[in-house]
Amino acid sequence: MKIYIASDHGGYSLKEHLKKAIKQYEFIDLGCDSEVSVDYPCYGRKLAEEVVKNKALGIAICGTGIGISISCNKIKGARCALCTNTTLAKLTKEHNNANILALGGRIVGDVLAEDIVRTFIETPFLGEERHERRICQIENE
């Protein structure tokens, strides 16, 4: 499975760690390429556009996860959720069918981030009528 991944400088270290630690998925790295300061909106937009275009999953990382998640959610069809634990990752996939996971590189540790990513990728959408209805309402706003 291909997973798009992008970060700003604040998420660069965690992005690189995840690519090495989670080997069962192919990560398509959309940048950034170092810890030199960059602007997260560029990377959030690029990631969200690729995820929506390719009907894929993505992981967006900045220092807190907040800024890049806001940027991702500006793209129609992107449903990005900032998760700080596995329960949130599981529920956002089951109920919201989120297609992008946002993480804070300065907020969650490497091992917890690995667990959050695996949970996000492996949890299926429940597909229940109430969840489908709510997602349609979000997308039609």
Structural domains present in the chain: 2-139 (3.40.1400.10)
Q: State the pLDDT confidence band at 140, using cuts at 50, 70 and 90.
A: confident
**pLDDT exceeds 80 at position 141:** no
| Res 25: pLDDT | 96
| Res 139: pLDDT | 85
**pLDDT exceeds 90 at position 1:** no
Q: What is the mean pLDDT of residues 53-73?
A: 98
Pick the catalytic residue from 9, 42, 80, 95. Answer: 95
Instruction: Calculate what percentage of the chain has a pLDDT beyond 90.
Output: 93
Pick the catalytic residue from 32, 62, 72, 83. Answer: 62
Query: Would you list the DSSP string of the chain?
Result: -EEEEEE-TTTHHHHHHHHHH-TTSEEEE----SSS---HHHHHHHHHHHHHHHT-EEEEEESSSHHHHHHHTTSTT--EEE-SSHHHHHHHHHHH--SEEEEETTTS-HHHHHHHHHHHHHPPP---HHHHHHHHHHHT-
pLDDT per position as a tens digit, 89-134: 999 999 999 999 999 999 999 999 999 999 999 999 998 899 999 9
95 has catalytic annotation: yes
113 exposed, middle or buried (CB, 10 Å; 0-12, 13-18, 19+)?
A: buried
Q: What is the mean pLDDT of residues 60-68?
A: 98
pLDDT per position as a tens digit, 18-28: 999 999 999 99
